[in-house]
A and B are shown apart, each in its own frame.
Chain A
Amino acid sequence: MIRKFYIWHYVVFITSAIFILRFQEVLNSFTLLYYSIVCFFTVENFFINYYSFSQLDQILSPIILFAILVLVILKRNRWKFLSSRICFSNAMLIVLIFTFLLTPLIAPYNPNLQFNLSVSKLLSPFSSKKIGLIVDYSDDNYTPTKIEKYIHFKSIFEREVVDENYFLADSIITSNDINIYQRNTEITLPNGSNLKTQNALFIFGTDEFGRDIFSRLIYATRLSLFIGALAVGITFILGLILGFISGYFSKLIDGVLNRFTEMLVSVPTIFLVILFLAMFGNSLMVVIILLGSAGWMSLFKIVRGEVISIKNKNFITSSKLIGMSNWKILINDFLPLLLPSIIVNLVFQFANVIIAESALSFLGLTGNHLYPTWGAMIHQGQFYLEQAWWIVLLPSIFLISTLIVIYDFGRKFELKEI
């Protein structure tokens, strides 16, 4: 029965689901957009002083959501992919794309938000607790300026820490006085305090710091895919250019580059990678560059082979005679022919990079970034394997599914042009 549905049905379904489930957040994003625009025109130096990328992220998310919805409905007949049937790979691919683009919308909490540890440590999936929010209505007569409203709103939106005004509790009982229960401690607030109670549902549970795993997983997906994509980009550029140089120009350069590549292939890359990480530090850029530079060899061979076989053909010689620069020849003449095999190679390379990055962060070699990656989550979770196996299981499921999707698509690309 599931097979009857097309991709575009599925996309519309997911988009609507996100919209309904995260309605509050969509509203919040638009409010933020409104405030941003107002402040942009009224406050000087708004962009420099008060604005940051995370707000752009928040604001763009619902816009992207609607854009996807509209796009898919309009193009459902024109784009072949949207009219193909659902299978596991397709469905998972859509999920990954959505997770990548709409991260702030889907994730309920900030991935670094550590809730009160006594209440939220290592909760199992589907646990629910209560959030207490104390709103300060101290100055009723004071009308805040636009910028202050913006700041206030933003801080509610992007809550990063719990403190005495925002906390997690096992239960909050409001009778005469407000009683707040946090595991073994009981806090009582007098009746006058403005305490709002919300429900907190931890779909995937929490980790040892009390952070919501679902949110972390969403952001981890984005970061892992991002690292993979950039690294593959570097591989692409390196492999293409070096392969082209090697195949197109003199035999001497070819020989040298060939030897060099062979040398790199025969070296146990993993040791060099570890060594470089230890030496140059483990910041994000270093990791990406390293992963990108470790895998261009196979692309190099493919490009070089193809370039050598094509370079004496007529249309290439004619381009040369016209006087096109080598660079233009590469882009206009070679690239379209090379593209199919390059894409196949890059797809598999993408999988390799993701595995490599997970392995390195699992061994603990890639350090702390602001957001986690799948490998980093598994690394942190392996110490709690017995008590909280879900911390390892959930990122692993995402990791494995992503790899399955990549391999599947790689094989499909490979077969499409035998």
Chain B
Amino acid sequence: MITRIKAFSTLILLSFLLLTCTKTHQKSTDRVVVGLQNDLETLNPLYSMSEPELNISELIYLSLAGHDWDAELGTVTSYPLLAEEWKWNSDSTSVSIKLRDDVYWSDGKKVSSDDVVYSFDLYSDANVQSRFFGIFSNYFTKPDLSIDLKKSFEKINDLELKIKFKPQSVPSVFDFDMPILPKHIFEKNDRRELATSEINVKPIGCGPYQLDNWTRNQNIRLVKNENSFLIKENSVKEIYFKIVPDYNSLLNQIMKGEIDLAQNIRPEDVASLKSQVHLQISSRKGRSYDYVGLNNIDPNEFQKSGKLSPNQYFGNAKIRMAVSLAINRKSILDEFLLGNGELMVTPISPIFKSEIDKSLNPIEYNLTKSREILRNEGWTDTNGDGIIEKNGKKFALTLNVPSGNPLRTYSSTIVQNNLKAVGIDLQIATLEPSIFFNKMFKKEFDIWIAGWGVPIPLDLKPYWHSNPSIGGANIVSYTNKNLDKILEQLSRKVSNNTRTELLKQFQKIIADEQPVSFLYWIDTIVASNKKIQNLQINPLGSVQQCWNWVIE
């Protein structure tokens, strides 16, 4: 027994010695390692929904056009990708697209305009239910919302086609910038089975990078496609997406240089990352914000009969203003986000520099004013228990928060505390995201904390229009006829000056009425290795235009 133990321990000792000897390894020098916290579910552009899925599928499958961000003006400019050029006609109801001549799918077949037409067919097909289904309102569509191919597409030859849009619509490059799919591969599958077919995990693309290997829950390896016109001599050879669900180990690997690029760095780690010589910290601003949702309608009535009657607490704009005055959003911004964000005024992101109204200021933190408003509206504390009442009804509610988001968990505690100071009693209920969003969309909550990501280009109608079929994201059911009119006018063709004026009015109304209590814009913090040149980190993304990346 003893000798056995001795032998065993010497073996372990030897191994450890060997371990310390062989720790230096040859790392591949022509590789960028991107850290992801969750694995992808699919590489099929039809179903790619999360940001990494979009980024990677757009590297594998090319779109007709790509986008650049102009930080000065706060606008998006487009440049040709798969399309060599496109020309709008005089009244912008149709566009002629000429494809590049030198793009091939990875199985050798050349990309043609048939692929383009087929792609849009799939994207708009009701049987496929792709992520783009139903958004082709500028096209000629059939009653089931799929694109009427005969009316919309005219194939001139294998490399040229024309897209015709509905008259009176306002089409733009964004209407045809979806990734193009290979017809000869996708048509082999039954349309209903596309969600589960092998294409999801073994893509055939024409983009600058191809999938080399995908080990689920571990990594995704992309290698450069030498035949792509985008790839230059010194483009990065391999992009390796490493899946590290644990945030702390992700951070550790960034510090040690094992991961070169990662997003969603927590604010408290920025300082220690900045002290690393090989790292660079950038922020992507203004794409997402958090808010405290104040249901404008009574949820119980709505559940029972679908009737819209004003919420007994938040149906009144003044009460909503009082809530906004009582929340110390600056303290959350300073203490939790450590300044990596911006106080929010209206849902128009500050990155759209030409469209925001700089004269509007964020709501201040003023408890006295808040208390005064509440008192004037009839809410006072008659029995000294710290909670205000009106007509015998206490201002006591449940604040619903989705779990798994440290910022929202933190801010819920602060909001609860802030509102207690003016006499509003909140009980925090943390729900799993699936339950939470289910109930939120059914408008079952009185007050909650959630957030939105904002699209580029600016799209306000789904969020603020009072008609539920248009304003599907107007969860609080905020109703303002003037606002509706402004939104409708914005979706029609207007001159730039009119547009600016309309947006100004929009912002003024929102700021005065406080349909929800806006908290702050959240920066997405990106850590990158300085060795990567030509990184584009802007509101559009951080893993973009990877063919320009060069390792020095």
The chain A residues found within 8 Å of chain B, CB to CB, are 49-50, 52, 112, 114, 116-118, 121, 147-148, 150-152, 154-155, 160-164, 208-209, 278, 364, 367-368, 383, 387
- Residues of chain B at the chain A interface (Cβ within 8 Å): 268, 331, 334-336, 367-368, 383-386, 403, 406, 410, 413-414, 417-418, 420-421, 428-430, 432
Smallest CB separation, B405 vs chain A (Å): 12
**Which residues of A sit under 8 angstroms from B418, Cβ to Cβ?**
161
B540 to chain A, nearest CB (A): 30
**Which residues does chain B contribute within 8 Å of A112, judged by CB atoms?**
417
Interface of B is mostly: helix
A148 contacts which chain B residues (CB < 8 A)? 384
Q: Indicate if the CB atoms of B414 and A114 lie closer than 8 Å.
A: yes
A208 to B420, alpha carbons, bound, how many Å? 19
Q: Which residues of A contact B334 (CB under 8 A)?
A: 117-118
CB distance from A304 to the nearest CB of B (A): 39
Given A50-B383, A114-B414, A368-B428, list of 14 further CB < 8 A pairs? A49-B383, A112-B417, A114-B413, A117-B335, A118-B331, A148-B384, A151-B384, A155-B386, A160-B386, A160-B420, A161-B420, A162-B421, A163-B367, A367-B430
Q: Whole-angstrom distance from the CB of A269 to the nearest CB of chain B?
A: 21
Query: How far, in angstroms, from A147 to B335 measured CA to CA in the complex?
Result: 40
Contact A50 B335 (CB under 8 A): no
A50 touches B420 (CB 8 A): no
Given known A161-B420, A208-B410, A209-B414, contact A387–B268 (CB-CB < 8 A): yes
Known contacts being A160-B420, A163-B367, A163-B421, is A278 close to B432, with CB within 8 Å?
yes
Contact with A154, one of B336, B384, B417 (Cβ below 8 angstroms):
B384
**Contact assessment for B335 and A118 in the assembled complex, using a CB-CB cutoff below 8 Å:** yes
Q: Please list 8 pairs of residues, one from A and one from B, whose beta carbons are closer than 8 Å in the complex, sorted by A's number.
A: A50-B385, A161-B417, A161-B421, A164-B367, A164-B368, A209-B410, A209-B414, A368-B428
The 8 closest A-B pairs by CB, nearest first: A151-B384, A161-B421, A163-B421, A117-B335, A117-B331, A114-B417, A161-B420, A49-B383
Q: Which of B268, B385, B410 contacts A52 (CB 8 A)?
A: B385
Chain A residues within an 8 Å CB radius of B417: 112, 114, 161, 209
Chain B: CB-nearest residue to A158: B386
Complex contacts, A49 vs chain B, CB 8 Å: 383
A155: which B residues are within 8 A, CB to CB?
Answer: 384, 386
Residues of A within 8 A of B268 (CB): 387
- Determine how close the nearest CB of chain A comes to the CB of B519; give it in whole angstroms: 15
Contacts of A162 in B (CB 8 A): 421
> Which B residues are CB-close (under 8 A) to A163?
367, 421
Question: How far is B276's CA from A55's CA once the two chains are assembled, in angstroms?
Answer: 54
- A121 to B413 alpha-carbon distance, docked (Å): 14
Residues of B within 8 A of A278 (CB): 432
Q: Is the interface of A mostly helix, strand, loop or mixed?
A: mixed
Measured CA separation A160–B367 after assembly (Å) = 15
Q: Which residues of A contact B430 (CB under 8 A)?
A: 367-368
Task: Please report the C-alpha to C-alpha distance between residue A208 and residue B410 in the assembled complex, in whole angstroms.
Answer: 9
B413 CB contacts on chain A under 8 angstroms: 114, 209
List B contacts of A161 (CB < 8 A): 417-418, 420-421
Contacts of A118 in B (CB 8 A): 331, 334-335
In the complex, what distance in Å separates the CA atom of A152 from the CA atom of B430? 33
Closest CB in chain B relative to A259 CB, distance in Å:
34
Residue pair A150, B384 in contact (C-beta under 8 Å) = yes
* Residues of B contacting A151 in the complex (Cβ-Cβ under 8 angstroms): 383-384
A152 vs B414: C-alpha distance when bound (angstroms): 25
Q: Which single residue of chain B is at the shortest CB-CB distance from A184?
A: B334
B474 → chain A closest CB, angstroms? 29
- Chain B residue numbers with a CB within 8 Å of A383 are 406
Residues of B with C-beta under 8 A to A117 = 331, 334-335, 414
Q: Which residues of A contact B420 (CB under 8 A)?
A: 160-161
Give complex CA distance A414, B336 in Å.
50
What residue of chain B has the Cβ atom nearest to residue A365's Cβ? B403
Q: Tell me the nearest residue of chain A to B404, going by C-beta.
A: A364
- Determine the chain A residues whose CB is within 8 A of the CB of B385 once the complex forms: 50, 52
Contacts of A50 in B (CB 8 A): 383-385
Bound Cα distance from A151 to B423, whole angstroms: 14
Residues of B within 8 A of A154 (CB): 384
In Å, the complex CA distance between A147 and B406 comes to: 42
Kindly provide the distance from the CB of B434 to the nearest chain A CB, expressed in whole angstroms. Answer: 10
Most buried by A among B367, B384, B403, B420: B384
Question: How far does the Cβ of B339 sit from chain A's closest Cβ, in whole Å?
Answer: 12
Q: What are the residues of chain B within 8 A of A387 when measuring CB–CB? A: 268
Which residue of chain B has the shortest Cβ distance to A120 in the bound complex?
Answer: B335
Query: Nearest CB to that of B423 among chain A residues?
Result: A161
- Taking the closest CB of chain A, its distance from the CB of B364, in whole angstroms, is 13
Query: Which of A121, A150, A364, A367 is the one whose CB lies under 8 Å from B335?
Result: A121
Q: How far is the CA of A415 from the CA of B479 in the complex (A)?
A: 73
- Cα distance A239–B110 when bound, in Å? 74
Measured CB to CB, the closest approach of chain A to B450, in angstroms, equals: 17
By a CB distance below 8 angstroms, the chain A residues around B331 are 116-118
The smallest beta-carbon distance between B330 and chain A, in angstroms, is 10
Q: Give the docked Cα–Cα distance between A121 and B334 (Å).
A: 11
